[in-house]
Amino acid sequence: FLRQDLLGIKVAITAGPTREAIDPVRYISNHSSGKMGFAIAQAFADRGAEVTLISGPVNLAAPDKVNRINVVSARQMWQQSMKSAVENHIFIGCAAVADYRVAEVSEQKIKKTDDNDELTLNLIKNPDIIADVAHLTENRPFVVGFAAETQNVEQYAKDKLQRKNLDLICANDVVGGSVFGAEQNTLHLFWQNGEKVLPTDTKKALAKSLVQEIIELYRK
């Protein structure tokens, strides 16, 4: 039995990787599994919150009662996120959004040639979804971001909190353990006036604790 204490609370969550097309058969992407975002969606839904899960391509079933929106590219995720952000109380960016996309997607499959051993792809920056949501001036939700770092975890996380205008950032230290695809994780939370460590645990257990922390900060 789970307490339905978050009835009426609306939450949007981005999860998984994005895919940036190179040509009709190839893309650029990353190793995000979507597990953390899906676990957070489940934890909110279990407490009665209304959850929209904006997901890149992952091999996971959506949790029960969650409104899942499937996207492929960063720009598609940006569109769905900007639409959802103003309709929700809380926005959580768990997705590993590709920072760059191919400037000109080839309409035909790029062929390998005998006369050239090199191929250059021009990349251009994708929009920063969570920063755009957090800089909304009307109907801005409470915004929670993630930061996977390999060094200077605390400093980079705090920089991101400021620069992206977030209310809370959840840092995980990639060094020593694989975050991507792993079942376990450790989170170090930072907000304007505080910080807290959620010790190593399964992503499901961490998601539950994280939802509690988010709700307490949101209500303040």
Does the footprint of ligand C5P cover residue 210 (CB under 6 A)? no
Q: Give 48 or 218: the residue with its C-beta nearer to ligand C5P.
A: 218
- Helices (H) then strands (E): counts for the chain: 5, 12
Does the footprint of ligand C5P cover residue 128 (CB under 6 A)? yes
Q: Give 87 or 99: the residue with its C-beta nearer to ligand C5P.
A: 99
How far is 210 from 220, CA to CA, in rounded Å?
16
Q: How far is the CB of 160 from ligand C5P (least distance, A)?
A: 6
Site string for ligand C5P, 65-104 (x = CB under 6 A): ---------x------------------xxx-x-x-----
Contact 169, 147 (CB under 8 A): yes
Q: CA 60 → CA 48, 146, 212, distances in Å?
A: 21, 20, 24
Supply the DSSP symbol for 123: E
Active site residue 193: no
Query: Which of 88, 118, 109, 65 is CA-nearest to residue 14?
Result: 88
Q: In the set 27, 66, 145, 158, which binds ligand C5P (CB under 6 A)? A: 145
Q: What is the dihedral of CA 142, 206, 18, 53, to 10 degrees?
A: -60
Q: Give 48 or 75: the residue with its C-beta nearer to ligand C5P.
A: 75
Q: Which residue has the tokens 């969550």?
A: 13
Q: How many residues bind ligand C5P (CB under 6 A)?
A: 15
Binding residues for CTP: 93-95, 99, 109, 127-130, 146, 160, 164
Q: Which residues are annotated as a binding site?
A: 93-95, 99, 109, 127-130, 146, 160, 164
